């Protein structure tokens, strides 16, 4: 009896509102086979890579190997931000081998990528509720104001005109959260329904000629081969596109740390609530605390709201049971009501979560070892909805031997050092949560950025 999509609907609001109860999953790999390109992972990274490769060369034989279903991981569970945010700062990029020019080029391409996602979705007829309303980063005490003003100063130093500062009254007109002192606004962000995009993209990639094998768990990858539970796939090029699930591959336990981010969604809210709350353009929003939160107004009028706070699990373990942590989900609900008190009686219809991938230096990367035929992309630190698209286009140029502005970007062939062995990895990853909580408490109390805790976090990141 085939496993049906209904068994996956509970993974998130997004998958629940897209998957058909009666539709069967795609077939698993029937046995050993050979292709030109084997892609491990049918999330955004793998699908965008297949999409642009086949757009460039329709004759390529491409197989995507997915442990569950297309979009099962972070691509079907994230906050729905298609943003130009990068996990490392412009100054960090400028300190690397690409220098100032590389940093500017990277941010420039990220800004353009937001529009490329919208363009590609529209061109392929994928209705993913794309709305480019921009991003509001809210200050709710003086430490936040100082942090956001520093962000503006850094952007101007590198020649960017955004973000811009909104004073208290202007910010409150855009988003009426409690204790607002101001906000920054950046137009380079859109909201999407991620499951509509990833599932639609899977259909488009199949129509272009790729084969997606679902329920096909990969055990390890090597030069010219992907070893799965159903047989070995031989390929000229193997692409690792596994993000937070990378530690499940043989030999990759320390490449990426899987950190869980959790979310809640309200019932659809009435128009009079939104008239007061704002977000009329469906802007994404968060505030400038250290323990990250993030939210969006969905196309059907819900709040989809999430944040960090779940513990890292020893040995980089990943388990579906970790998707729901009542204590964290309750804390997220309290934070949302704290921002918008009128939501105290709003029903929470969905609670979910999932792992995202964090490299040791918080630095996303993409690369291709032509000698070994091995390519990779990932380490998005939760900002992957747009970055995966840039990764797919960059991998396409690298794999096809095309020299372009994308292949010259400073994240290309960046190698993060590996995470420490256990129990050091467990101690360090969870120390980050403790530091963020303590920093926020100190900043709320003093009104000044917590330099001591910031120093500790910088040391932790290396």
What integer pLDDT is reported at residue 4 of this predicted model? 56
Share of the chain above pLDDT 70, in %: 97
Residue spans of the chain under pLDDT 50: 1-3
What integer pLDDT is reported at residue 460 of this predicted model? 63
Count of alpha carbons within 13 angstroms of residue 68, beta-carbon side? 17
C-alpha closest to that of 210 among 29, 58, 74, 75 = 58
What integer pLDDT is reported at residue 457 of this predicted model? 65
- In sequence order, what are the residues at sequence separation of 6 or more whose Cβ sits closer than 8 angstroms to the Cβ of residue 67? 215, 216, 217, 218, 245, 248
- In sequence order, what are the residues at sequence separation of 6 or more whose Cβ sits closer than 8 angstroms to the Cβ of residue 439? 290, 450, 453, 454, 457
What integer pLDDT is reported at residue 65 of this predicted model? 98
Question: Cα dist. 133→123, 192, 268, 283 in Å?
Answer: 20, 11, 19, 4
Q: Tell me: the pLDDT tens digits for 377-409?
A: 999 999 999 999 999 999 999 999 999 999 999
DSSP helix, strand, coil percent of the chain (3-state; round to 5): 40, 25, 35
If phi > 0 it is left, if psi is from -120 to 50 it is alpha, else beta; for residue 95 that is alpha
């Amino acid at each position: 009896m085939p496993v049906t999509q209904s068994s996956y609907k509970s993974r998130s609001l997004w998958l629940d509102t897209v998957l058909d109860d009666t539709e069967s999953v795609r077939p698993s790999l029937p046995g050993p086979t050979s292709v030109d390109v084997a892609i491990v992972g049918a999330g955004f990274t793998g699908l965008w890579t297949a999409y642009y490769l086949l757009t460039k060369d329709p004759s390529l034989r491409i197989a995507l190997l997915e442990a569950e279903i297309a979009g099962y991981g972070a691509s079907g569970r994230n906050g729905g931000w298609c943003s130009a945010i990068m996990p490392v700062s412009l100054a960090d990029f400028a300190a690397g081998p690409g220098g100032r020019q590389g940093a500017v080029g990277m941010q420039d391409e990220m800004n353009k990528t937001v529009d490329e996602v919208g363009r590609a979705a529209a061109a392929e007829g994928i209705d993913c509720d794309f709305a480019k309303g921009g991003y509001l980063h809210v200050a709710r005490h003086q430490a936040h104001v100082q942090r956001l003003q520093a962000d503006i100063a850094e952007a101007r130093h590198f020649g960017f005109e955004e973000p811009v500062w909104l004073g208290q009254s202007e910010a409150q007109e855009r988003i009426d959260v409690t204790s607002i002192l101001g906000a920054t606004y950046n137009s380079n962000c859109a909201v999407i329904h991620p499951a509509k995009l990833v599932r639609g993209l899977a259909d488009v990639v199949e129509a272009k000629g790729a084969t997606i094998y679902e329920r096909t768990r990969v055990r390890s990858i090597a030069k010219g081969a992907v070893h799965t539970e159903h047989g070995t796939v031989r390929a000229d090029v193997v692409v690792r596109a596994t993000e937070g699930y990378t530690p499940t591959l043989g030999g990759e336990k320390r490449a990426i740390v899987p950190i869980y981010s959790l979310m809640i969604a309200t019932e659809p809210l009435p128009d009079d609530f939104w008239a007061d709350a704002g977000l009329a353009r469906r802007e994404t929003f968060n505030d400038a605390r250290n323990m990250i939160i993030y939210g969006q107004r969905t196309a059907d009028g819900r709040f989809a709201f999430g944040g960090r706070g779940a513990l890292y699990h020893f040995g980089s373990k990943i388990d579906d049971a970790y998707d729901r942590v009542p204590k964290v989900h309750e804390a997220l609900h309290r934070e949302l009501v704290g921002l918008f008190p009128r939501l105290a009686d709003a029903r929470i219809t969905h609670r979910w979560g999932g792992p995202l991938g964090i490299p040791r230096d918080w630095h996303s990367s993409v690369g291709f070892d032509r000698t070994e035929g091995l390519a990779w992309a990932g380490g998005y630190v939760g900002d992957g909805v747009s970055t995966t698209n840039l990764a797919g286009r960059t991998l396409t140029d690298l794999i096809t031997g095309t020299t372009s502005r994308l292949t010259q970007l400073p994240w290309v062939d960046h190698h993060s050092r590996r995470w420490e062995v256990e129990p050091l990895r467990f101690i360090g990853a969870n120390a980050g949560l403790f530091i963020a909580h303590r920093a926020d408490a100190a900043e709320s109390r003093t009104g000044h950025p917590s330099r001591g805790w910031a120093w500790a976090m910088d040391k932790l990141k290396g």
